[in-house]
């Protein structure tokens, strides 16, 4: 058995020891994990982004346009010193503003228009007589679900009885979604456990 | 409930779960199971592509979900390489980068696929919105060098395709919300043909996109991997873990029922 | 003054990004690609700022807190190991950097999340009590998916996977659609507030 497998097994057992209670082995493993993850990401960012997109164009190719992101990066690093951190605000604003600008048309299309269109679409097919009774039922159910869930989120006046009744219907649909998600989440977590137990039984103990 | 009894109940549940996972792995059985329409759809989409067409696989996951996403990725890559499709790999998550490269490399070796010709690994890009949008302009401009630092211009695989327009399908193998970013920034502006292979816990979030045709296929969890392995007639991690998963899923149902029975009995006593 | 500049930057860049979605000219396209590149570079730098802050925090902990000193030392050593080993031996498949990732980081990360299987089971036992009709609906949906999407469900009856498929494709998916539309409207409104300078919490 190679050293890597033994180390991986010890690390796995150290994390599992948390199931009994919080203990120094677990905490040690937890801190090693945090340190390695941060180090791993820093190296990757340096190699994958900063070197090809900033350092190579600026220092190897002499691309003067790259001075702009270089200056922005310096301003960003000023966040590390309390009194200078205000100089990073315009750079933060660039990130936030760009993100906001990119998200408006993208979300309008992907999350709002296309989703509403998918809710209404079956009804156009219904008019052409192309849907079975089951499809019609599902289309109506879908429309009710979308509308009642949205009412539940947007209209929160407790004194309005009709709105409260509609919200209640929305709650039932949400319960179905959360229940289904819980069922699938349990499945997901069990799969992760299966993966780790399989590693211990197979690679480490050679039992299977 | 007194602290001591709560402590013991919790630990009994822990032991039950451990047994439900461990014993079926030791005494494993091969189960027959049906293929869901969602899995069938992903298979049909990839199967319909002609040899030489290009797939962009994005390994959008962390190491934490490896046992669940790796069988999905392996099955998809095996199917693609067996059909002589070309693969570009990349990741929008730091940890997915190394794991994605290892996965493609392993399968490429099985099928004798050549790096730079049949597959390439582009590496990592942070900031998903801009990375996804930039690929729509030019893949080689976004990734002037591959994961290993080799210049991508001149690689034969880039002769066939350099932007979404020439990529037959994009598959986001994800353990989080990343496929929805692909939908917003690749499907909406560039009409990309997108499929997702996700952990079971994320699956319910993507059904609406499947119905709105923003997603062309959805493969979910270990069961999805086992189904896909059935379709490509090549058993792997999905089939291996399916018995343990099925037993433990049933045990959880029993745990839910037991919790309610105990509650009823306790309430009646009080 | 600096705040005003920041708000102006957010406004100009935000409007440009929205407009770019609808127009396609060579100059704006080039500027757009440049901005996307800057966006990634700055994002990478912010992550590096985060990494440095973590190391500084643990450096301070070493001086301040004797009880957790050893953990802080281990954290800093782990960061240093990855950075130094990558600078000396690179990040190739046989490098110490990759070895630590494969044999320590990845297994520990996967195990940490696998712990959730136990806690989810414990939550299923203690928290899934059917005390009201919505709770009954929640439990039923969970059980249908758990059984219907398992290989045993297939073996019991072919109706079970069909039922699970119906739940996932209809009431569950459409409820999620309502959530998606709601979140979509909310996030578009927030983005507009940021661009127009009404929302300035990032300053």
The 3 state secondary structure assigned to B103-148 is HHHHHHHHCCCCECCCEEEEEECCCHHHHHHHHHHCHHHHCCECCC
Q: What is the mean pLDDT of chain C?
A: 91
Mean pLDDT of B90-113: 94
Instruction: Provide the pLDDT for residue B144.
Output: 86
Q: What mean pLDDT comes out for the span A109-127?
A: 89
Q: Which chains touch B (3 or more CB pairs under 8 A)?
A: A, C
Average pLDDT over residues A133-152: 93
pLDDT score recorded for residue A158: 67
pLDDT per position as a tens digit, B217-268: 999 999 999 999 999 999 989 999 999 999 999 999 999 999 999 888 988 8
Q: With pLDDT > 90 as the criterion, what percentage of chain C qualifies?
A: 69
* Residue among C43, C105, C124 minimizing CB distance to B256: C124
* Mutation for testing the A interface, residue in C62, C106, C108 having most A CBs under 10 Å: C108
Considering only CA atoms, which of B17, B94, B179 is closest in space to residue A191? B17
Residue B2 has pLDDT above 70, yes or no: no
- Residue C199's pLDDT is 86
Longest pairwise C-alpha distance within chain C: 70
Give the model's pLDDT for residue A161: 81
User: Quick one: average pLDDT of B107-135?
Assistant: 92
CB contacts under 8 A, B 52-111 vs C, are 62-67, 95, 98-99, 102
Number of A/C CB contacts below 8 angstroms equals 377
| Mutation for testing the A interface, residue in C47, C181, C183, C193 having most A CBs under 10 Å | C181
Cβ distance B127 to C43 less than 8 Å, yes or no, reads yes
Q: Walk across the sheet containing B194-198 and list its strands.
A: B119-124, B86-91, B54-60, B169-174, B194-198, B217-220
Tell me: the pLDDT tens digits for C118-142? Answer: 999 998 888 888 889 999 999 999 9
Instruction: Identify the closest residue of chain B to A39 by CA–CA distance.
Output: B94
DSSP code string of chain C: -HHHHHHHHHHHHHHHHHHHTT---HHHHHHHHHHHHHHHHHHHHHHHHHHHHHHHHHHHHHHH-STTHHHHHHHHHHHHHHHHHHHHH-SSTTSHHHHHIIIIIHHHHHHHHHHHHHHHHHHHHHH----SHHHHHHHHHHHHHHHHTSHHHHHH-THHHHHHHHHIIIIIHHHHHHHHHHHHHHHHHHHHHHHTTS--TT-
Q: Residue B173: which of B203, B199, B200, B191 has the closest Cα?
A: B199
> How far is A81 from chain C, CA to nearest CA, in Å?
10
Provide the whole-model pTM. Answer: 0.92
Task: State how far the Cα of B32 lies from the Cα of C150, in Å rounded to an integer.
Answer: 11
B1 confidence band (pLDDT: 50, 70, 90): very low
Average pLDDT on B95-113 reads: 94
CB pair distance less than 8 Å for C175 and A176: yes
pLDDT(B154) > 70: yes
Looking at the complex, report in whole angstroms how far the Cα of residue A22 sits from the nearest Cα belonging to chain C: 13
Q: Is C175 on the interface with A (CB under 8 A)?
A: yes
Give B 15-34 residues with CB within 8 A of chain A: 17-18, 21-22, 25-26, 28
The percent of residues in chain B predicted with pLDDT above 90, rounded, is: 71
Alpha carbon distance B201, B179 (integer Å): 14
Chain C CB within 8 Å of residue B163 CB: no
- Measure CB to CB from residue B242 to each of C120, C122, C151 and give the nearest one: C151
Q: Is the pLDDT of residue B105 over 70?
A: yes
Per-residue pLDDT tens digits for C48-92: 999 999 999 999 999 888 888 999 999 999 999 999 999 999 998
pLDDT attached to residue A122: 87
Residue B210 confidence (pLDDT) above 90: yes
Q: Judge whether A196 and C115 are in contact, CB under 8 Å.
A: no
Q: Is the pLDDT of residue A156 over 80?
A: no
Among the residue ranges A132-141, B153-162, B205-214, C134-143, the one predicted with the least confidence is B153-162
Q: Which residues of B touch A99 (CB under 8 A)?
A: 129
C-beta atoms of B36 and C150 within 8 A: no
Q: What is the pLDDT of residues C183-197, one digit of tens each?
A: 999 999 999 999 999
pLDDT value for B7:
60
Does residue A155 carry a pLDDT above 90? Answer: no
Using CA atoms, how far apart are residues A198 and C21, in angstroms rounded to an integer?
48
Q: Name the phi and psi angles at C41, rounded to 5.
A: -65, -45
pLDDT in tens, A16-55: 999 988 899 999 999 999 999 999 999 999 998 999 889 9
Q: Give the CA angle between residues C140, C157, C176 to the nearest 5°.
A: 40
């Amino acid at each position: 058995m190679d050293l890597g497998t033994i180390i991986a097994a010890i690390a796995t057992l150290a994390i599992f020891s948390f199931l009994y209670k919080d203990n120094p082995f677990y905490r040690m493993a937890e801190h090693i994990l945090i340190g390695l993850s941060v180090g791993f990401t820093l190296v990757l960012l340096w190699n994958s982004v900063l070197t090809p997109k900033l350092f190579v164009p600026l220092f190897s190719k002499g691309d003067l346009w790259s001075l702009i992101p270089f200056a922005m990066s310096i301003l960003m690093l000023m966040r590390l010193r309390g009194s200078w951190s205000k100089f990073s605000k315009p750079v933060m604003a660039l990130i936030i503003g760009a993100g906001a600008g990119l998200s408006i048309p993208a979300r309008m299309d992907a999350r709002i228009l296309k989703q509403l269109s998918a809710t209404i679409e079956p009804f156009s097919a219904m008019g052409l007589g192309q849907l079975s009774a089951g499809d019609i039922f599902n289309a109506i159910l879908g429309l009710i679900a979308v509308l009642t869930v949205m009412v539940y989120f947007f209209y929160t006046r407790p004194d309005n009885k009709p709105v409260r009744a509609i919200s209640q219907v929305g709650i039932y649909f949400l319960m179905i979604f959360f229940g289904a998600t819980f069922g699938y989440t349990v499945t997901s977590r069990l799969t992760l456990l299966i993966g780790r137990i399989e590693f211990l039984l197979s690679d480490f103990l050679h039992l299977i | 409930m007194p602290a001591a009894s709560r402590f013991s109940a919790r630990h009994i549940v822990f032991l039950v779960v451990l047994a439900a996972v461990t014993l079926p792995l030791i005494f494993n059985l091969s189960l027959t199971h049906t293929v869901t329409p969602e899995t069938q759809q992903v298979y049909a989409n990839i199967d319909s592509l002609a040899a030489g067409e290009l797939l962009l696989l994005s390994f959008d996951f962390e190491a934490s979900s490896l046992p669940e996403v790796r069988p999905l990725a392996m099955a998809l890559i095996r199917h693609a390489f067996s059909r002589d499709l070309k693969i570009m790999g990349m990741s929008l998550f730091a940890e997915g980068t190394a794991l994605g490269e290892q996965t493609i490399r392993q399968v490429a070796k099985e099928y004798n696929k050549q790096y730079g010709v049949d597959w390439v690994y582009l590496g990592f890009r942070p900031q998903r919105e801009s990375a996804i949008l930039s690929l729509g302009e030019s893949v080689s401009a976004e990734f002037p060098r591959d994961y290993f630092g080799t210049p991508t211009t001149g690689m034969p695989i880039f002769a066939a395709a350099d932007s979404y327009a020439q990529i037959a399908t994009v598959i986001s193998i994800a353990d989080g919300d990343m496929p929805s970013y692909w939908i917003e920034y690749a499907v909406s502006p560039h009409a990309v043909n997108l499929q997702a292979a996700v952990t079971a816990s994320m699956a319910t979030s993507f059904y609406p996109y499947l119905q709105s045709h923003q997603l062309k296929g959805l493969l979910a969890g270990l069961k999805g991997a086992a189904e896909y392995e059935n379709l490509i007639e090549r058993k792997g991690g999905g089939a291996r873990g399916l018995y343990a998963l099925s037993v433990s899923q049933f045990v959880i149902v029993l745990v839910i029922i037991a919790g309610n029975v105990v509650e009823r009995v306790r309430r009646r006593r009080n | 003054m600096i705040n005003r500049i920041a708000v102006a930057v957010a406004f100009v860049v935000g409007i440009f990004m929205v407009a770019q979605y609808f127009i396609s000219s060579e100059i704006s396209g080039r500027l757009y690609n440049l901005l996307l590149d800057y966006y990634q570079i700055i994002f990478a730098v912010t992550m590096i700022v985060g990494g440095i802050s973590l190391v500084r925090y643990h450096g301070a902990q070493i001086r301040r807190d004797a009880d957790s000193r050893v953990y802080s030392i281990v954290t800093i050593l782990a960061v240093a190991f990855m950075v130094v080993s990558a600078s000396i031996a690179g990040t190739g498949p046989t490098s110490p950097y990759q070895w630590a990732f494969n044999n320590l980081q990845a297994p520990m990360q996967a195990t940490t999340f696998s712990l959730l299987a136990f806690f989810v089971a414990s939550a299923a036992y203690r928290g899934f009590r059917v005390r009201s009709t919505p709770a009954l609906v929640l439990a039923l949906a969970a059980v249908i998916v758990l059984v219907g999407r398992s290989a045993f469900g297939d073996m019991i009856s072919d109706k079970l996977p069909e039922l699970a498929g119906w739940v996932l494709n209809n009431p569950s998916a459409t409820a999620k659609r309502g959530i998606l539309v709601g979140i979509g409207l909310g996030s578009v409104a927030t983005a507009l507030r940021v661009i127009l300078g009404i929302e300035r919490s990032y300053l």
